[in-house]
Amino acid sequence: MILLLVCSSMAHGRIGETLEECRKRYGKETETKNGAVLFTKAEVWVVVVFWKDKVHRIGFMVASDEGKGKALSVVQRDALLEANRPSDGKGNKVKWERSWDGLDALHARWRTVDKSMCAEYADNALIVITKKFKDHLVILEEAKKKKNATEKATKEKEALKDF
């Protein structure tokens, strides 16, 4: 299961922070795995992914002994979204818009009105990600698919070389 993370009123993450800033906010990381750094503070799991030395993806989930995490309250979720609102460069916070397409009360999606960030709440976790990083991940996935297709075609050709 992908590590996703938690929130409480005492633990608010920030998109754009460095590892050192995260350590100041949450303390020493408890685990690093598959490029994600896990912090635990105030019974909240905070998982961050760095790209270009800044947080571009952050997840929040209420910690649990079972390792699955507990649901965020609406108050916690909204506080985390607020804490991660980007600035428009003029000191004004950019607003979140909620998308209701095909979603229910347990699943929700948002994006900032300037489309620089998006967020999703599902499986008891709130994930906030920058559009630049999301686009980067799409490019990586497309490159991986292309590489796999090329390797498959090469193997298929190789298997037929003596025909």
List pLDDT tens digits, range 139-156: 999 999 999 999 999 999
Q: Where are the domains of the chain?
A: 19-131
List pLDDT tens digits, range 31-90: 998 889 999 988 889 999 999 999 999 999 988 777 777 888 888 888 999 988 888 888
* Cα dist from 17 to 14, 55, 58, 107, whole Å: 6, 5, 10, 27
Long-range CB contacts (< 8 A, 24+ apart) of 36-41? 36/3, 38/3, 38/5, 41/10, 41/11
List pLDDT tens digits, range 82-128: 988 888 888 888 999 988 766 666 788 999 999 999 999 988 899 99
116 near 84, Cβ under 8 Å?
no
